[in-house]
Structure 1
């Protein structure tokens, strides 16, 4: 279980969520983007084994991927949305990745205050329509629906 923040975005598409049970860390993020965020894929370590989500969204836009180092973790996800997620930026304890997409529309920020982001949830179809995060706080994972 984890603290759940969001989602931020519109109401299109279908529900997507990661099972955060036994996830120790996120190792890679893949983003398809152009004038908006077309899709998101997340690779992570669960119980010592590397796994991946399916691609949340469509095949449009350019593909950008980044790896997180062994001691690196996501501290915040921010961006903009309208009818879909227009832009997304990932902040870590060591740097920033993005923005991907166009920074226009309604701004949002999902910070992991005193913790780290260990998973994602949202809505997708042809695009990524909404994004939210699961936060592990002080090594203990709690469920708080905001």
Structure 2
């Protein structure tokens, strides 16, 4: 049996911050969007997957800067649901070109948009039969770039 080959879409954004990558063994089942700066500015993303033993595999990107987190929104991805695409915008926030809005699309529905739809839009290809199995990008104080690892189901 052939091992499925993952492809990469993106990353979209800029070259600031440090590279990060999250490719859990099991599907991503929760995403937390953290806001800061006294408004609807997404400054951090947390991706989680539940391992076979019940423990969590988690990464948080962004959120380490001078802005305190003022609120969060949680996306729970159901057992019959899986990620198929992302879209959003990158724009200027405190003199940085960073993630300003994001929508997560699954085989069942769209979650979002989260944040402010300002700046340059981006979108992953929403190919039938594709599942997003991980994320990659760059971040520092904010999310500087984001892309996806995709696998044909």
TM-score normalised to structure 2 length: 0.80
| Aligned-partner SS, 2:59 | coil
Q: State the Cα RMSD in Å.
A: 1.8
Structure 2 runs not aligned, ≥5 long: 92-96
Alignment length (residue pairs)? 136
SS in 2 for 1:55: strand
Q: 1:10 aligned to 14, 23, 43, which one?
A: 14
Please state if 1:104 is matched with 2:118.
yes
Shift of 1:48: 6.0
1:62 and 2:71 correspond: yes
Task: Name 1:120's counterpart in structure 2.
Answer: 135
What secondary structure does 1:126 align onto?
A: coil
Partner residue of 2:26?
24
- Give the Cα–Cα distance (whole angstroms) in 2 for the partners of residues 9 and 61 of structure 1: 24
Contact conserved, 1:43 with 1:50, CA < 8 A, in 2? no
SS in structure 2 at match of 1:120: strand
Paired with 2:87 and 2:55, the residues of 1 have a C-alpha distance of 25
State the Cα distance separating 1:96 from its structure 2 match: 1.3
Q: Which of 1 and 2 has greater Rg?
A: 2
Match of 1:73 among 82, 89, 108: 82
Unaligned runs of 5+ in 1: 139-146
CA contact (8 A) 1:36 1:102 kept: yes
State yes or no: 1:51 paired with 2:51.
no
SS in 1 for 2:26: strand
**CA distance in 2: counterparts of 1:10 and 1:36, whole angstroms:** 17
SS state at 1:84 partner: strand
